[in-house]
Amino acid sequence: MLMLVDCSSCRTPLQLTPGNRFITCAICHAITRVADLSFYALPSLAPSHYNQSLCSVNGRKRAVICGISYKNTRGVPKLEGCINDAKCMKHLLIKKFMFPESSILMLTEEETDSCRIPTKHNIRMAMFWLVQGCQPGDSLVFYYSGHGSRKRNYTNDEIDEYDETLCPSDVESNGVIVDDEINATMVKPLPYGVRLHAIIDACCSGTVLDLPFLCRMERNGRYAWVDHSPPSGVFKGTNGGEVISFSGCDDDQFSAETHNQSKAIATGRMTSSFIKAIESGHGTTYGDLLTSIRTIIYKDEILDGDGNRQEPQLTANEPFDINRKQFFL
């Protein structure tokens, strides 16, 4: 039986192996002692009231979609297009990739269920839900459209000395979700035969899953995988599964919003380009898709004339031939 406890130091939810009374946090490395195991014994990774509000899983496809406008968040710039992004991505997964609607968990401020508001706690629980009980053959998708940021890292596990983060709707009171936690929650436990794709439309998001390999591509299409493993030697890979992430920009760049031709509807530039590339038939290989996304964004940047330069990134737990490997969700 799986158990969920909070780290005694940073309050990160941790999976406790049955029978153990101690657990080391992958984020702050504090050791938490559990005195009464029966108190934490749960039928799943999340509290029962949260599980009941989540969608059931049909088939072998499952997705978490987060879109955050920050309309009720003080001190944080509002975003016009993120909820539109979430709805567009849900439509794409259902119509193009045959994800059952009941296997997609939507987190936006428009949801009436309090467990589906994209707070820090709810996003954490959704990440746990996404990988919970996955089996060989499963296809998982984690999509996020919202603010991203960076913070100084002091544990020697970042090449650039910064952690990349996601900003939940309650970021002003509960803080960010750090890439170390995202990796520990969705990447490290992923078993053999399971595929996880992440699509992140946020600033500073290039390596926000903390995956060990980063694909550097030139404009002429030539590319090379760069070993992005942390200097500390901490393992950032999977338990045999496959994780591939598309992000809206490099770690030191901003991911912008754009508008449709009538200027009436705002969307994230990354999300809009990702969907356009697939719908126009450029999603055959990962290389084809990445090149098409970058081309569309480059054209949008010229048309919008906002001076922003963003280059979508591709990261993975293992390097592969992006021009041969077929893209599918």
Q: What is residue 121's predicted lDDT score, i.e. its pLDDT?
A: 94
Domain encompassing residue 11: 1-43
Asked, for residue 322, whether it belongs to a domain, the answer is no
Residues 146 and 109 in one domain: yes
Confirm whether 163 is domain-assigned: yes
295: CATH? 3.40.50.12660
* pLDDT surpassing 60 at residue 45: no
Q: For 185-207, what is each residue's pLDDT tens digit?
A: 999 999 999 999 999 999 999 99
Complete DSSP assignment for 39-58: HHB-SSSS-HHHHHHSPPP-
Catalytic residue among 66, 82, 203, 204: 203
Q: In this structure, are 16 and 160 located in the same domain?
A: no
Do 79 and 207 belong together in one domain?
Answer: yes
CA separation for the pair 39, 214 (Å, rounded): 42
Q: Are residues 154 and 212 in the same domain?
A: yes
Asked if 134 is an active-site residue, the reply is: no
Q: What is the pLDDT of residues 259-269, one digit of tens each?
A: 765 566 888 99
Residue 248 lies in a domain: yes
Q: Do 14 and 131 have their domain in common?
A: no
pLDDT, position 35: 61
Same-domain check for residues 105 and 76: yes
Q: What integer pLDDT is reported at residue 220 of this predicted model?
A: 81
Lowest mean pLDDT among 196-205, 207-216, 222-231: 222-231
pLDDT at 33: 76
| CB-CB neighbours of 77 under 10 Å | 7
Q: Is residue 321 part of a domain?
A: no
Give the model confidence (pLDDT) of 54-72 as tens digits. 554 544 899 999 999 999 9
Residue 42, pLDDT above cutoff 60? no
Say if residue 273 is exposed, middle or buried (CB neighbours under 10 Å; 0-12, 13-18, 19+).
buried
Q: Which of 82, 134, 147, 167 is catalytic?
A: 147
Q: Specify whether 59 is located in the same domain as 37.
A: no
Position 2 scores a pLDDT of 47
Q: Do residue 23 and residue 159 come from a single domain?
A: no
* 7 in catalytic set: no
Q: Tell whether 172 is covered by a domain.
A: yes
Please tell me the predicted confidence (pLDDT) of residue 10.
Answer: 64
Examine the pLDDT at 31 and tell me if it is beyond 90: no
Say yes or no: 38 and 59 in one domain. no
Structural contact between residues 193 and 241, judged by C-beta atoms closer than 8 angstroms: yes
Q: For 103-118, what is each residue's pLDDT tens digit?
A: 999 999 999 999 999 9
Residues 295, 156, single domain; the answer is yes
For the chain, the domain total comes to 2
Q: Is residue 110 part of a domain?
A: yes
323 located within any domain? no
Quick one: 37 and 107 in the same domain? no
328 in any annotated domain: no
Q: Quick check: 304 pLDDT over 80?
A: no
Please tell me whether residues 29 and 75 are part of one structural domain: no
Instruction: Specify the range with the lowest mean pLDDT, choosing from 87-91, 228-232, 236-240, 303-307.
Output: 303-307
Length, in residues, of the chain: 329
| Amino acid at residue number 4 | L
